[in-house]
A and B are shown apart, each in its own frame.
Chain A
Amino acid sequence: MNRAFTLRRARFVMLCLLPGVAFVAVFTYYPMIRGAVIAFQRYNLFDVTATPFAGLENFRAVLAEERFWTALRNTGTWVALSLFFQFFLGFGLALLLRRHFPGRALYQAWVFFPWAMSGFLIGLLWRWMFNGQFGVVNDLLLKAGLIDERIGFLATPGWAMTSVIVANIWYGVTFFAIMITAALQSVPGELYEAAAVDGASRTRRFWHVTLPHIRPTLALIVLLRVIWILNFPDLIYSMTGGGPAGGTDIITTFLIQQVIGGDYGRAGAVGLLVLGLLLSFSVFYLNATRFERAR
């Protein structure tokens, strides 16, 4: 009786899990594993009759490319600057939204709107706004007297990077604001009452009560965000296509160009390098923040 029951249970569990596991195994894990294998083969989409084992040839070819290193440097700039401004502006916004005021829910709904758009559309939107001739950003800067003549934002390497980062900041601030608002709400009110009884000022309460309490959450949000920004070629793809001359290429737009070019061997190698980068960053970061907490 009991045995039959557990058998029935096991069958139920397996039946319920089977569809999801099957989809993920076939269309996610299998291609990833095959990609890792292809990275060590000579594999060009336009000649799949011969796919010999190539050892580290693809990796050597990628690492010898100037464009790969530019993309890697750009990835650092892209992630660091986007993250920095998204975090601090988002934190500021969260602090302003912390106390209730009339219309707060409506306000949150409105500033939430970039989240309904895809990175692709946001890239297009800002590509038009940063247009060198008819772009509204140039127009506003001219009107404000900040520049004397129009700037070809997306045609000049330094400006192009600045432009895509501005677009990304615009997109990401709300995410941080929402996450940090939730984190702030998780701080128990009694802690503040106790601190107030002890005569702590508002600034002191922030540094000694709020911040320590939400620190682990902040650490996790930042980690998720770094991974996400790194994996976010959509915006750059539609805004500049990685140009001018690779000036806004990041590692993931570089990867997509390899796939479009049909050299799957190299694409596989870049994929593994991206994976290595993600993993080593996560491990390094988790260790660093754990150290912080233990201290």
Chain B
Amino acid sequence: MRRVAALAATAAKAVVLAAWLLVTLFPLYWIVVTSLKPKPEIFSVPLRYWPASPTLEHYAELFSFADFGTYLLNSLVVSLVAAAVVTVVGALGGYTLARFAFPGRGALVLAFLVTQMIPLFIALGPLYLLMSDLGLLNRLAGLMVVYVAMLVPFATIIMRGFYERVPVALEEAAQVDGASRLVAMVRVVIPVMLPGIAATFVFAFVQCWNELFLAITFIDSEDSKTVPVAMNSFITQYDIDWGSMAAATVVSVVPTLVLFAVIRRFIVEGLTAGAVKG
């Protein structure tokens, strides 16, 4: 009797989990299917849950009618450079916060944490004026700079956490051997932290890759558009070409999906590190 009940419970659990998986994945499936349907099939009833005559025409359109290659390249350059700078700046700052006690350290951490609570777009107007004064509008360099500022607090605080897990003795041993502090950091500490550093880099990259509001405020010239800016201009008041939009969605989400799959474990750690204390 008891075994039957346990079996029923397991089965119920499996059904619920399967249902949730279906709910999670169906929208992704649907956008892929839409991107593969020829236009008349997208806008016809009854809906087909599998394309009758699959086609890649929408993907081809992205690169022929729209200049999607340029947008992808812009997004890639901005995200790579910004993420690299964020990682280095975060590594330096996080190290200092983890290893030295100095006046104002608490205030600095607080000032960084506050920026995580307040979205940057709250100051979108003044930021636009500043970028205009600095001649950084419509330039990829301008986006890079703002993205670095947006992500430095997060990177610094998460890196501090990683450093705190590296025993100080490891560094001291290197310093006793005559290495300077910076050399000790680069040769001894950094290799131990490599997974954490990689995770920070990827996370920053994805944030830049996905960012919308700052980009649409600062960029409107064709050759500086990033992918979200370009997709935003696909949206017109009454009409969206859903075939191209679906294809663009798939193309822009694939890199982040792959990256997130690679570092998923670290993201979970990063997300929970701040909030969960045993």
Interface residues in chain A, defined as those with a beta carbon under 8 Å from any beta carbon in chain B: 9-10, 12-13, 16-17, 19-21, 23-24, 26-32, 34-35, 38, 43, 45, 92-93, 96-97, 107-121, 124-129, 131, 133-134, 136, 139, 170, 173-175, 178-179, 182-183, 186, 188, 217, 220-221, 224, 227, 231, 233-234, 237-238, 252, 255-256, 259, 264, 267-268, 271, 274-275, 278, 282
Contact = CB atoms under 8 A, between A and B. Distances in A.
Given A32-B122, A111-B21, A252-B121, 5 more contacts: A24-B153, A32-B126, A43-B125, A110-B21, A175-B271
Nearest to A125: B27
A182 B275 CA distance: 10
A128 B31 contact: yes
B20 A38 contact: no
Interface stretch (B39-47, B60-68, B187-195): B39-47
A19 B89 contact: yes
25 contacts: A12-B96, A16-B96, A17-B92, A20-B93, A23-B145, A27-B146, A28-B123, A28-B149, A34-B126, A96-B17, A111-B20, A113-B25, A121-B253, A125-B249, A128-B34, A128-B245, A179-B271, A183-B276, A186-B278, A221-B275, A234-B213, A252-B121, A256-B213, A259-B125, A259-B217
Contacts of B46: 139
B52 interface: no
A7 to B, nearest CB: 13
A110 B123 contact: no
A170 B24 contact: yes
Nearest to B93: A20
Contact of B108 (A21, A119, A217): A21
Contacts, number: 227
A153 B249 CA distance: 22
B123 A31 contact: yes
A23 B42 CA distance: 46
A38 B130 CA distance: 13
A278 B119 CA distance: 11
Contacts of B181: 12
B152 interface: yes
Contacts of A221: 275
B contact patch SS: helix
A233 B213 CA distance: 10
B152 A20 contact: yes
Interface in B172-193: 181-182
A134 B43 contact: yes
B228 interface: yes
Nearest to A182: B272
A223 B261 CA distance: 28
Nearest to B117: A227
B27 A170 contact: yes
| Interface range, B side | 35 or more
Nearest to B207: A118
B108 A17 contact: yes
Interface string B96-123: 1000101000001001100101111111
A-B pairs, 3 with minimum CB distance: A118-B210, A27-B149, A264-B125
A107 B21 contact: yes
Contact of A234 (B90, B130, B212): B212
B25 A31 contact: no
A217 B276 contact: yes
B275 A224 contact: yes
A164 to B, nearest CB: 14
Contacts of A271: 122-123
Nearest to B212: A120
B118 A13 contact: no
B251 to A, nearest CB: 11
Nearest to B278: A186
Contacts of A13: 96, 100, 102
B93 A17 contact: yes
Contact of B129 (A34, A121, A231): A34
Interface string B18-59: 001101110110110010000000111111000000000000
Contacts of A224: 275
A259 B120 CA distance: 13
Interface string B250-264: 001100110111001
B235 interface: yes
B150 interface: yes
B168 interface: no
Contacts of A268: 125-126
Given A26-B149, A28-B149, A136-B47, A116 B92 contact: no
B121 A256 contact: yes
A178 B272 contact: yes
B92 A20 contact: yes
B126 A38 contact: yes
